[in-house]
Structure 1
């Protein structure tokens, strides 16, 4: 199985410091949906791993989150692709859970669900916490400059293990790299 792990906010859809709280506020980044479909058509199982602390903070509820994910899933289907699964952490930063990135619990869950190792699997994120979670599991971290990516880029040089992380303008560019390198 060829697996790709994607963060959601800032990678697939526009991020917001005020949180993305509804399907109406969930707006895909140009080219991201087509990039997921392209990965799928190239034989990859595309999985999303996302922190959603807005649930714990009471900013939206599970129905809102499911509506956002239904919108994402349908857009990908309409583009000729398919998502393997969406994994999310519903906890806040002070909940001390194992699934909130930069911890690797979401990736552990992906490994268990698909009975695969995430070692050497490309993981695309826009924040240090995304890449750090992947690093713990031996993933190949890739940074996109959308979302928080521009602010994250200079931090890579000072983060052990992430100094040589490839970076891309957006998910479309990262997808082309993944297809070329991992197919």
Structure 2
């Protein structure tokens, strides 16, 4: 599988909140993001998602709510003729010592295993330093978008080799122009 793209969720696909996205009503797509995923999917890309969801561990929402958000994401993309690939989440809190919570690369490895894919050079699009660190840990190409926490992350300085885009729509434009 040569056309695999991995996305962080909050701040990349949907609006982020320091108070967490706790309900379907709070899950609001970033302008252009749904169309970007659909365009990539229609062009043959597999778009997977790796998302830290410590709100589960913190008791802010339950798994059924998280699954409803992801079903809504899949429905919105399907309405534009695309599909979302594997969605993996880390349900743990920051102090749980798991290996899946970004900046650890566990979720990226899970996606690679699912698709029997080599992650070297696969683009991982995120908005936080944890996303970029996870990408680098498994030889993915780190991509920062300026949506979500992206501007804050940019101000802290980026790891060498990180590519910068305004938003997911700009990432899709770039990838589709390369074909």
- Tell me the TM-score normalized by structure 1: 0.94
**Separation in 2 of the partners of 1:25 and 1:14?**
8
The correspondence of residues 143-158 of structure 1 with structure 2, limited to 5 A, is: 143-157=144-158
Q: SS where residue 10 of structure 1 aligns? A: coil
Deviations 1:30-87 (A, max 9, x none): 0000000111112110000000000000000001101111111100101111011101
Structure 1, unmatched stretches of 5+, are none
- Shift of the 156–178 alpha-carbon distance from structure 1 to 2, 3 Å rule, reads farther
Q: SS where residue 161 of structure 2 aligns? A: coil
CA RMSD of aligned residues (A): 1.0
**Separation in 2 of the partners of 1:61 and 1:54?**
8
Instruction: Determine whether 1:62 maps to 2:63.
Output: yes
Aligned residue for 1:74?
75
Pairs aligned (count): 178
**Separation in 1 of the partners of 2:69 and 2:125?**
20
Structure 1 residue ranges, 4+ long, deviating more than 6 angstroms after superposition: none
The correspondence of residues 27-176 of structure 1 with structure 2, limited to 5 A, is: 27-157=28-158, 162-176=159-173
Q: SS where residue 58 of structure 2 aligns? A: coil
**Separation in 2 of the partners of 1:156 and 1:134?**
16
Q: SS where residue 25 of structure 2 aligns? A: coil
